[in-house]
Each structure stands twice: as C-alpha cells, then as structure tokens.
Amino acid sequence: MCGIKAELANPTVETPGKGYIVPNVDLPPLCSSRFRPGPPGEQAQAASQFIADVIESSGVIQTEDLCIDRGKLCWVLYCDMMCLDYDGNLLDACIVALLAALKNTRLPEVTFNTETSAPEVNSEKRQGLCIRKHPVATSFCIFDDSILIVDPTAEEESLATAQLTVVTDEEDRLCSVHKPGGTSMSGQKLQECISRATARQREIQKLIDKVAHSVKMEQ
C-alpha cells in the first residue's frame, strides 16, 4: 500500500528550482513475524534507498515540475509504502504501488503571493502529476548461476545463492540494476534477466494503466 502526502516547503539554496520526493518503506510486525516494532530495520532502510535511487535514475517525475515559484515555494511529496503481507519480492511490489499512487495523485493549484509572501491554495482546481516514465522492477533469485526464479517468495529468497532486481521503463531503458551481494553472475545470465524484465515491464504497465483508468471512470 502506498500513500502520497504533499506539503508546501521552501526549495534549497542549491536547487532553487526543484521540489523533493521522499520515499519511505515501512515493514511493520503486522506483515510478518520476522519484523519487530521500533525504528526502521536494515531491510526497510535499504528498500527506501533503492526506491529513492530508482526515482532519480528513471526520471519518473522531474523534481523541476514540483517547483511552484523558483527559490520561494515548492511541493514535497512524501511517498509512504507499507507492507501488509510480507512473502518476498518487496522491491517489485513497492515500485508498482508507488507508480500507481503517483498516477492517482491530484495536487491543488497553488500560487505565491509576492505582496504577502504567502502561498494561496485553490482546492477547487486540481491537476495530476506529470508522470514522465513508467519504471517497473523485476526481481530474480539465482541458484548456482543456473536456475532463475522470477518473483521469488520469502522462502526462495532465503535459499538463493544470489538475488537481482532489474528496473526498466517503457522505452526499454535500463534504469537500475540492484544486486545485494551473493555469488557472481555470468554476463549471459544477466542479459537474460534484463530481457525478461523488459518484457514484464510492458505487462505491468498495462495492468497499472487499466486499473488507473477504471478508478478514473468511477470518480
């Protein structure tokens, strides 16, 4: 599950013409007995960083689009992803939920009043975000560099000798390759994973667009 919370803020001095996107992945005890209450664990922190890297490398949203008035006002999008039932392949689920939530987000019209130096919000007028790319993650488990399993379960992940996540977009562009340790992979196996990820991207994007369209029709 992914929720988008939008807040108004001041841009940084280094990037006066850009807004921010802040992803956060939460793995509560609700989703699995392996997780404990308290501050985010190592896996949740690693997942949050992975999502942040994908947002930047894929260009799903240009942070320039979140700027309202250069150097004075911008949007901050807090993307909170919560796992409801953990059984492996966390990263793929996070990217799908994030993309669907971003496509469903509507921001009110905001202008910056130079006389009062305060933002003016028009809640009656809302518009969607400009989604420039549609990244989709595909995760694999590798067993002894010979067997590939797509969309692995938690048990398969615990038994695998290596894991790999490939992120591609609708233009078959490689956005990210994430391999957290494990045994080495041959170039042939890596290319096979990229080819499979490219094919899966088209399938997932069609499903997301179909659901987004049905939600739009209901509204």
**One-letter identity of residue 65:** D
- Give the least confident one: 75-89, 140-154, 205-219: 205-219
Topology of the domain comprising 2-128:
Ribosomal Protein S5; domain 2 (3.30.230)
Q: Could you give phi then psi for residue 95, rounded to 5 degrees?
A: -65, -40
d(CA 186, CA 118): 57
Instruction: Say if residue 219's pLDDT is above 70.
Output: no
Across all residues in the chain, what is the average pLDDT?
A: 92
Instruction: Say if residue 159's pLDDT is above 70.
Output: yes
Neighbours of 50 (CB within 10 A): 22
pLDDT of residue 85: 95
Could you report the per-residue pLDDT of 85-101, keeping only the tens digit for each?
A: 999 999 999 999 999 99
At residue 104, the 3 state secondary structure works out as helix
pLDDT interval class at 214 (50, 70, 90): confident
Which tokens belong to 32?
């699995």
The domain segmentation of the chain, as residue ranges, is 2-128, 136-218
Could you report the per-residue pLDDT of 173-194, keeping only the tens digit for each?
A: 999 999 998 888 888 889 999 9
